[in-house]
Structure 1
Amino acid sequence: MRKLIFITLVFFFSTSFSWANEEENPIEILFPKADFLNEYTARIPFKVVDQLIVVEAEFLNQKGNFIIDTGSERLVLNKVHFPKGQRLTRKKGETTGVTRIIDQPYERKLSEFILHNFNLKNKKSDVIDLSHIEKSKKMHLLGIIGYNILKDYEVFIDLYLNQITLSRVDKNGDKLDTKVYAETIMDSLDFQLRRHTIVVSGFVNDKKVRFALDTGAEFNQLNKNSHQKILEKFRPMKRLSMIGAGNKKIRVLAGKLYGFRLNDRIGVGPMYTIVTNLRKMNEAYGTSVDGVLGFEFLKYKRTIINYKKEKLYFMKSPIFSP
């Protein structure tokens, strides 16, 4: 039986709604396993579920899981667990993000959202049916934590220790807690923030490329319409069936991408990658990219994201004794 893989790349592209009553009590999300170092910094352990970064949380009197997803524009709540409970008013516009299989999303305005003791005022969440992800990943999925929550922090994603560190920053991106990391930062890289998308420049076979950094991407992805010199560095291994938009099966070519580097100092690879059409992905990201760096990149690079400074930092990795 041919293996099917769900990709959590969902395109929100339909009518959204606003809650009519915006005067709500503060809404709090709790991370029962987190270590709160002080009022500005929290270390939250995560588990990896099919190459997705998942944290345990309590939210609106429910216990479950949230996916950490830099490619999602907003906080996303699973409509299965948070059904409509108040009169909704229609809102014009579209919603974008990385979970791309959507059924009539609507919007809830949170007058005050509390990340434990971190207050985030006037946040919005999309309420979407995520049951397809919940079933395929076999977990109780409450939602997805995206850009509009993460942007107020410096975010350290550590796949060596399986923990995410959130440290509050000021308007300039400077950490309010100056003693967050015991480890050494080895390198840094500027990125461009295109709407909510982190875009890094790099090279494959000396051809310049632009890749989105997306913690919600289970697989690295490369545009099948890339320059031939780029595709020459891709070594195909097999074809996979994946579930794409509208639960339609799509066939993709899977293999390894060699020779990717961010600059003269920072190289990575080879990385498992799929080759596919990124047109819909580009629409969701709000910019054109040649590929996506996801879990496969993050497992090699202990990465810190600072949205305000538009900068990535790479932490020193442990040296293992033979």
Structure 2
Amino acid sequence: MQKAVYIILFLFFSQLALATNDDGILINSIPIHFKDAKIINKYSTRIPFKLVDRLIVIEGGIKDQKGNFIIDTGSETMLLNKVHFKTYPFERKQKSTTGVIDFVDNLFEKKINKLSLKEFTLHNRKSDIIDLSHIEKSKKIKLLGIIGFSILKDYEVFIDLYLNQITLTKIDSLGNTLSKEVYLEKIVDSIDFKLKKHTIVISGYIGNEKVKFGLDSGAEFNQIHKRVSKKVLRYFYPKKRVKLIGASKRKIEVLYGNLSRVKLSDKTYFGPMKTILTSLYNMNKAFGTHLDGILGHDFFLQKRVIINYKKEKLYFIKYPLVR
């Protein structure tokens, strides 16, 4: 086994169980604008993104602040970086929150009266305020915040790592898109999922063993719970030990390698994916789930995915060519 090395992964915010709280300060209109967003029609917009290491990052701005936002299906709320919003009023939350490595304190919360996505406008959305400076520093970007479930759930979300763009289409209460002409690409398969709080839970197989995965666009690497059965672990091929740095800067050592033989349906299967072996105990406890693993960046790298939260369904778009 190779010598341990230090890495900082975006795992902490991907698996936050944020405490709910009705308190907050309603502030004046603060529109959020995303750079180079293209309006497809009245209900749909397409936003280009860049990959920073293995994170989906879009450029945008809030008032006089310009910077970057991470798209993270694993985050419950919208998060703003305390470093860049010190002058805005906010209130301390009443509870702490649980991260993948440890507990996180000093959460703050505020309400945004108006959030604009080009022609889309959302009202009275809560945003949690937290110090994201360690992610900002490690990724070498100006990080304004993280866009999570509380924003994404009202749209059908097409994450396309082939063209490096995300398409958001407004949906009704049943999950039907308000526009009938959005995608030119062909849908080749679909699977159902269960929404556990804000976590997308997918049933699948590793080899012949049934497992449950959480889907998280903010996880830079897949994760496998170290307490899964040995029959599952025989398809995990470790390469080296790495050290993760969590929210409170506490470090844990995990195994990094490749995971093979992952299948979600007869049509939906994956080649080897970069994966870490770690404990998912805190996350399972916080969310009331029993996940065996997390599917992150490599899942989206191999599949062009549409997420429909209301219908609890994933759709897979055909790649125009074989990678």
Determine whether 1:54 maps to 2:57: yes
The residue that corresponds to 1:271 in the other structure is 273
Instruction: Give the TM-score, by structure 2 length.
Output: 0.92
The residue that corresponds to 2:85 in the other structure is 82
Which residue, 229, 233, 236 being the options, matches 1:234?
Answer: 236
Task: Note the C-alpha offset of 1:71.
Answer: 0.4
Distance 1:261 1:121 in 2: 40
The residue that corresponds to 1:185 in the other structure is 187
Deviations 1:12-57 (A, max 9, x none): 57988776542x3332111121111122111100000110000000
Q: CA RMSD in A?
A: 2.3
3-state SS of paired residue (1:71): coil
Alignment map for 1:207-246 (pairs within 5 Å): 207-246=209-248
Q: Is the 8 A contact 1:71 1:97 kept in 2?
A: no
Distance 1:297 1:205 in 2: 17
Task: Note the C-alpha offset of 1:318.
Answer: 1.5
Q: Is the 8 A contact 2:5 2:241 kept in 1?
A: no
**CA pair 20-51 structure 1, distance change in 2 beyond 3 A:** closer
Q: Is the 8 A contact 1:8 1:99 kept in 2?
A: no
Equivalent residue letter for 2:74: G
Distance 2:100 2:114 in 1: 24
**CA pair 287-64 structure 1, distance change in 2 beyond 3 A:** same
Alignment map for 1:81-230 (pairs within 5 Å): 81-83=84-86, 85-86=88-89, 88=91, 91-95=93-97, 102-230=104-232
Which residue, 63, 68, 72 being the options, matches 1:65?
Answer: 68
Distance 2:122 2:99 in 1: 20
Q: Which moved more, 1:175-184 or 1:277-286?
A: 277-286
Equivalent residue letter for 1:253: L
User: Gapped runs of 5+ residues in structure 1?
Assistant: none
Deviations 1:298-317 (A, max 9, x none): 10000000001000000001
Distance 2:103 2:112 in 1: 24
3-state SS of paired residue (2:76): coil
Task: Note the C-alpha offset of 1:244.
Answer: 2.5
Q: Is the 8 A contact 1:78 1:130 kept in 2?
A: yes
Deviations 1:272-309 (A, max 9, x none): 11101111232454422000000011100000000010
Q: Is the 8 A contact 1:75 1:125 kept in 2?
A: yes
**CA pair 75-56 structure 1, distance change in 2 beyond 3 A:** same
**CA pair 207-70 structure 1, distance change in 2 beyond 3 A:** same
Q: Is the 8 A contact 2:89 2:110 kept in 1?
A: no
Q: Is the 8 A contact 1:71 1:98 kept in 2?
A: no
Distance 2:24 2:145 in 1: 22
Deviations 1:75-127 (A, max 9, x none): 00000001153363x55445467797745111101233222221222210000
Which residue, 23, 31, 43 being the options, matches 1:40?
Answer: 43
**CA pair 318-93 structure 1, distance change in 2 beyond 3 A:** same
Deviations 1:171-217 (A, max 9, x none): 11111111100110000000000000001000112111000000000
Q: Is the 8 A contact 2:100 2:282 kept in 1?
A: no
Distance 1:189 1:282 in 2: 23
Which residue, 276, 280, 283 being the options, matches 1:281?
Answer: 283
Q: Is the 8 A contact 1:10 1:102 kept in 2?
A: no
Q: Which moved more, 1:264-273 or 1:126-135?
A: 264-273
3-state SS of paired residue (2:298): helix
**CA pair 60-99 structure 1, distance change in 2 beyond 3 A:** farther
Q: Is the 8 A contact 2:61 2:67 kept in 1?
A: yes
Task: Note the C-alpha offset of 1:148.
Answer: 0.3
Q: How many residues align?
A: 319
